[in-house]
Structure 1
C-alpha cells in the first residue's frame, strides 16, 4: 500500500468543506477496499476533530470600491501585451461576478453584446485547476458544470455597458482560440492563476499606497467578484436576484455578504419612512 502525505487544510477553509472532503476521502478508501486494492481502512484510527468554524463574512476592508476597481483594471491594461489581454477577463469578474474558472470556457456564442445598453453572458462550464494526476483527461484543468449545479445548468448574468464594451473590444482585437474560447494565453492555452495573479499583483502595486498594498485590499483577483456582489447589494438589488446572478443560494449570500446588506440601512429606512408617511390617527 502506498502512503500519501495528506496536506493540512488551509486555516480559512470552512468547516463544512472539510467535513465534506473527509467524507469523500472515506468513501474512496471504502471503494479501494471493495476493489481489493487495500486490506484495511485506517481512517477511524486517526485522531481528528473538526476545526473551529471560520467567519465566512467578507471583510469590507478587502473589497475595492468602484473607483478603485476601475483604476486597477486600467493598471492591468497598462502592462503591455500580456496585461491588455487580461482586462476583459478581470472585467468579467468585476462586472459579472464570474468565478475565474467559469471564464476559461466562455465563448462568443454565450455572449449577447449589443452596441448600446446591457448585454448578458451565459455561464455553463467551469475549468478548475486540479493537476494532471487528478483529471480523467490528463490535463491540468478539469472540466465540470457550474459550482454545486448540474452539468446542464446555465447561469445568465446581465452585464453593464462597460463590460459589453470590454468584451467587444477583446474579441475584435484578439479573436478566439481554435476551439472558440475567448480567454487564452499567447499560445492558446488555458489561463493559470499564477500567470494572471502576477499581473494583478503588479496592478495593485501600481495603484495602491504602500500601506494599502500590504493590506488585504483587493489582495486577490477573486476580490473583484466580492466587489461586484457588494455593489449590487449596495445599489439595492434584491438579495434573491444578486444570489441568482452570482451563482449562490440566498442563504449563502446573506451569510457571506451580511455586512454589505447592513450598510444599506439608511436607504432602507428612507424607503420605509416614505411608505409610512402620513398622519397617525
Structure 2
C-alpha cells in the first residue's frame, strides 16, 4: 500500500513494487550477473568481442570478492574464468577439477550486485583492470577496452532494473599513463619505406608474396586485417593512372574457442559502419603497377583474395611479423651506415606504415 501511494510500478510476475524488486535482484552476485550477461549477448557478438569480454570479466571478477578473500592460485582462477566461466562454447563440457574448485570459490565469495553502488568497490574493479596479472601497469588501450566492457555490462544491469542509474557514471577515472603512443622519430620516410618494401620482396620463401601486402598498408593506409581480406573484385587497377581499392571489411583472428563454427578467423565489416558499407581508397600509379605484378605472379585465391600463404590459407600475423622484422633489421643497418638521418636509428614498427601514409 505504501508503494502504491508513492506511485511505484509493480512487477506483474512477482507482484513486488519496483523498490523491493530491485533490492531482491541486487542480492545476485557479480559473478552470476557477468555469467548471465555473457549468455545473453553471446549469439549476437563476434568471436573477437567475445574474447575481449571474457578477458575483461576475468580481470574484474577476482577483485569483486568479499573483503579479505584471496584465492591461493590466482592464475588458475583467471584461466578458469576466461576459458570456461565466460566462454559459452566451453559450457558443453564440465570444467577441469582445479578450475571447478576455483569457480566454486568465486561463486561463494563474489560480492552481491548491491555492492557495486559503493565507490570503493568500483574503484577496486577499475584498479584491477588497470594492471596486469603480475601487478605491472596495463597499457592505456587495454584498460580503456576493459572499462568499456565493464560499463556496457552495468548499462545492461540498469536496463534489467538492478539499478536506477549506471554506478560508473559518478566515478572519475583516468586510464593508466603508460606511454604506448607512436614515436614520430620511428615513422619511416618515403625513401625508407621503399627500401623496407624492397627488403621484404628480396627475402626467400614468403617475402615476395608480402611486398605488396605491406605496400597496401603504406599506399592505402590499410590495416593488416583489411589487407588479408582484399579481393580481386575490390580492386580497380588500370594500366595507367590512379587505381581504386573498394574496401569492405577485414579478416580477424578470433581463435577457434570463440567462434560458432570453430574456425580461427572471422570476416568482419568495416569498424563502426554498416555491415554492407564500403570504403573507397585511391592508390597511386606506382602501387597499381605493384599490385598488377603481384597478381600476375601469384594469382588469387579461389575466393578472390590477393594475399595468401604458400598453402593458400590466410596470412598469419606471426609470419608477416617475422618478415617485417627481418626487413627492418637489414634496412636500418644499411641506412645508418650511409648516414641517412637520425630517424633511421629507431626501428619503425609495422603499424607506422599506416601512420606514415596518413602523414603523406
| Larger-gyration structure (1/2) | 2
Question: What SS does the corresponding residue of 1:133 show, helix, strand or coil?
Answer: coil
Residue 324 of structure 2 corresponds to residue 230 of structure 1: no
Instruction: Give the alignment of 1:85-96 within 5 angstroms.
Output: 85-96=209-220
Distance 2:298 2:353 in 1: 23
Distance 1:11 1:57 in 2: 10
Distance 1:215 1:159 in 2: 29
C-alpha spacing 1:127/1:64, structure 2 compared with 1 (3 Å): same
Instruction: Give the alignment of 1:65-144 within 5 angstroms.
Output: 65-144=189-268
Write out the 4+ residue segments of structure 1 that deviate beyond 6 Å after TM superposition: 210-215
Instruction: Give the alignment of 1:1-281 within 5 angstroms.
Output: 2-4=80-82, 8=132, 10-13=138-141, 16-24=144-152, 50-52=174-176, 58-209=182-333, 217-219=347-349, 221-231=350-360
C-alpha spacing 1:165/1:140, structure 2 compared with 1 (3 Å): same
Q: Is the 8 A contact 2:186 2:344 kept in 1?
A: no
State the TM-score, normalizing by the size of structure 1. 0.67
State the TM-score, normalizing by the size of structure 2. 0.53
Distance 2:273 2:229 in 1: 16
Deviates most, 135-144 or 150-159: 135-144
Distance 1:140 1:106 in 2: 18
- Indicate the structure with greater helix content: 2
Gap runs ≥5 in structure 2: 1-30, 32-79, 84-128, 161-167, 337-341
Distance 1:26 1:200 in 2: 42
C-alpha spacing 1:68/1:18, structure 2 compared with 1 (3 Å): same
Gap runs ≥5 in structure 1: 35-43, 232-281
Residue deviations 1:23-67, cap 9 Å, x none? 346679x6xxx9xxxxxxxxx9xxx96523567864311210000
Larger RCO: Structure 1 or Structure 2 (Cα < 8 Å, ≥ 6 residues apart)? 1
